[in-house]
Amino acid sequence: MKKKSLSTIYLTIVFLILYAPIFYLMYYSFNSGGKMYEFESFSLEWYKDLFQNTRLLIIVLNTIIIALLSSAISTILGTIGAVGIWHLKKRQTKNVLLSLNNILIVSPDVIIGASFLIMFTIVGIKLGFSSVLLSHIAFSVPIVVIMVLPKLQEMSSTLIDAAKDLGASNFNVLTKVILPYITPGIFAGFFMALTYSLDDFAVTFFVTGNGFSTLSVEIYSMARQGVSLTINALSTILFLFTILLVIGYYFISKRNGRIIGLGARK
């Protein structure tokens, strides 16, 4: 009993710390003063501003589209890549590929952004939606690979041998044995890619253009003049919306008896 309450306390503290800054910025979204300090009085003016701002709405939608599409595509590519790397027999080739994979994670964003910009202009891809999408996919794939690989390595080879002995084709082994087993890794990869994509500023900044913009670019470029509280209001709404979505989805799928969670067991 004592142990149980200790663990509850620990988790509560972790969650409190995780959400503290979020509550802080939510609180200031109701500030009638213009900045994220010195709370003056309660006001909804930033929310009113927000709903009249079509430009911002377009930017938000763009951000979500890029995040969803890039993480979905990179999850698919990354999973294929991870299975490929895992399938390799030679340890050396494996190591080389893994190192290559990690290079994009270790390179500072500015460098990736600048080199992508040079690349896109050489190749002649018009800057905007497609260039942003491509570069987001590029930096998300390695992350997915890293998340999926340990799941593959955990999988015992007897499982696959057994399936093969029972006459399963390679394709069947992949879809009926491997994929279900690594599903949690795939979802972990997807969510990480989503996180990176939503938060990326440096890469997006360099490769965007022709009126296409994402929320991060917008926010960082506001820094010199002070970030408008409209952004706080926006974050608050998006955050609450996502929470509702997550909880709602969770319970609906739970009732239907099929949970597609991160840690879902086969």
Binding to other proteins in span 209-248, by CB under 8 A: 209-211, 213, 215-228, 231-232, 235, 238-239, 242-243, 246-247
The rounded distance, in Å, linking the Cα atoms of 182 and 245 is 25
Q: Are 200 and 216 in contact (CB under 8 A)?
A: yes
Q: Is 166 in the site for other proteins (CB under 8 A)?
A: no
The residue (of 39 and 162) whose beta carbon lies closer to other proteins is 39
Ranges within 39-68 binding other proteins (CB under 8 A): 54-55, 57-58, 61-62, 64-65, 68
Q: How far from the centroid of its chain's Cα atoms is residue 151's Cα? A: 19
Q: In this structure, what is the dihedral angle of CA atoms 74, 76, 77, 82, given to the nearest 10 degrees?
A: 110
Among 93, 99, 169, 170, binds other proteins (CB under 8 A): 99
Q: Are 135 and 207 in contact (CB under 8 A)?
A: yes
Q: How far from the centroid of its chain's Cα atoms is residue 33's Cα? A: 33
Q: What is the 3-class SS of 232-257, one letter each residue? A: HHHHHHHHHHHHHHHHHHHHHHHHCC
Smallest gap from residue 145 Cβ to other proteins (A): 10
Among 80, 115, 160, 164, binds other proteins (CB under 8 A): 115
Q: Is 168 in the site for other proteins (CB under 8 A)?
A: no
Q: Is 149 in the site for other proteins (CB under 8 A)?
A: yes
- Vertex 261: Cα angle to 257 and 265 (nearest 5): 75
Under 8 Å CB-to-CB from 27, ≥6 apart: which residues?
39
Q: Is 2 in the site for other proteins (CB under 8 A)?
A: no
Query: x/- contact string, 185-204, with other proteins (CB under 8 A)?
Result: xx-x--xx-xx--xx-x---
Among 1, 2, 18, 167, binds other proteins (CB under 8 A): 18
The residue (of 50 and 62) whose beta carbon lies closer to other proteins is 62
Smallest gap from residue 141 Cβ to other proteins (A): 8
